[in-house]
Amino acid sequence: MLALSPRQPQVLLTGFAPFAGASINPSWQAVLALHGRQVAGHRIVAAQLPTVFGEALQVLEGLLQRHQPALVIAVGQAGGRAALSLERVAINVDDAPIADNAGTRPVDRPVVPGAPAAYFSGLPIKTMLTALQQAGLPAEVSQTAGTFVCNHVFFGLMHALASTPALRHTRGGFIHVPWLPEQGAPHMALDDMVRGLRIAVRCALTVPDGAPPGLAAGATH
């Protein structure tokens, strides 16, 4: 049997801990199902982030340093949405509608003081959209990841990729998933989420340019 090369390029998929009193978070279940899988010569590593401002980014930064992944897709739950939401833009705002899992509720605070107002996703979201729809999965481009912990992690991820020389070739972005059937409606089956994320990973590893025509991936001012 061939041993896995420690230098095999990695894909980091993160999901979140349950929050707001829930006992499950489909984002974590979906990425966990892909842990250890191989896609386009890369090995997927799944990790859970705490649904806590600040702490989530500390955990993410440790994961980035440890794995030096070629691709990072952070995944979160968006109750009320019916489709896989390919997030277009991360904004430099924490403005929590509810308390996080540590009881903190920042209002109108920057994620990173002095950083740009926003970053575009580094993922090829339009190509992903087409691929997901062709696979029969509900998918959409979303223009906002909100201002809670998901946007916080999306912004922190894009800022880390933009400002860390060792990660300058790492591609990153964010996808929201709907509720699972047991959480209410609208919902999506776990198998469909997992299938969709796998398609998204393959697209991001094989499509060269993440920016839609006319938009450069990276900071906006």
Q: Is 16 in the site for ligand PCA (CB under 6 A)?
A: yes
Q: Give whichever of 46 and 150 is closer to ligand PCA, judged by the CB atom.
A: 150
3-state secondary structure of 66: helix
Q: Is 23 left (phi over 0), alpha (psi -120 to 50) or beta?
A: alpha
Q: Please, which of residues 61-100 interact with ligand PCA by CB under 6 A?
A: 76-78
Q: Is 101 in the site for ligand PCA (CB under 6 A)?
A: no
Q: What is the DSSP string of 103-169?
A: S----SB-SSTTS-SEEE-SS-HHHHHHHHHHTT--EEEES---SSHHHHHHHHHHHHHHH-GGGTT
The single residue of 42, 152, 159, 176 carrying the catalytic annotation is 176
Q: Please, which of residues 126-185 interact with ligand PCA by CB under 6 A?
A: 146, 148-150
**Which residue in the shown chain puts its C-beta closest to ligand PCA?**
150
Measured from the CB of residue 76, what is the shortest distance to ligand PCA in angstroms? 4
Q: Please, which of residues 45-64 interact with ligand PCA by CB under 6 A?
A: 51
Give the contacts of 183 (CB within 8 A, at least 6 positions apart): 22, 24, 26, 79
Provide the annotated active-site residues. 87, 150, 176
For ligand PCA, the binding residues (CB under 6 A) are 16, 19, 25, 27, 51, 76-78, 146, 148-150
